[in-house]
């Protein structure tokens, strides 16, 4: 059984602050996903070019 996702909680935080925290967290996650996806595409493209250069592809 999967554990529950951690809750963000602080005694002094207003609902607006919690929402802002979640917004920033989501933004970081999306940016990281985009960076990782771009890195994968880059490595794939470099691999294709390198293999093509050495005559091991097509």
Partner 1 sequence: MSDTLLINSSELGATASDWLALLKPRVMSLVVFTGAIGLVVAPVHMNPILAVTAILCIAVGAGAAGAINMWYDRDIDAVMKRTAMRPVAAGRIEPASALGFGVVLAICSVLLMAVVANAVAAGVLAASIGFYVFIYTMWLKRRTPQNIVIGGAAGAFPAVIGWAAATGDIGALPLLLFAIVFFWTPPHFWSLALYASDDYKRAGVPMLPVVKGARHTRVCVFVYTLVLLPVALLPYWLGLTGRIYGASALVLGAAFIYYAWGVLRDRQDEAGVSLSNDAPARAAFKYSLLYLFVLFGACAIDRLV
Determine the length of the chain: 58
Residue 50 tokens, joined: 């390198």
When binding is defined by CB under 8 A, the residue of 12, 15, 54, 58 that contacts partner 1 is: 12
When binding is defined by CB under 8 A, the residue of 36, 40, 49, 51 that contacts partner 1 is: 49
Report d(CA 56, CA 51) in Å as an integer.
5
When binding is defined by CB under 8 A, the residue of 2, 9, 15, 56 that contacts partner 1 is: 9
Residue 5 has φ and ψ, to the nearest 5°, of -65, 145
Using CB under 8 A, list all residues that contact partner 1. Answer: 3-10, 12-13, 17, 20-21, 24-25, 27-28, 30-31, 42, 45-46, 49-50, 53
């Amino acid at each position: 059984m999967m554990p529950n996702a951690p809750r963000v909680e602080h005694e002094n935080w207003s609902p607006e602050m919690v929402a802002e925290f979640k917004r920033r967290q989501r933004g970081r996650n999306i940016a990281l996903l985009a960076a990782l996806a771009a890195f994968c595409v880059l490595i794939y493209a470099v691999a294709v070019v390198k293999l093509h250069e050495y005559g091991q592809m097509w």
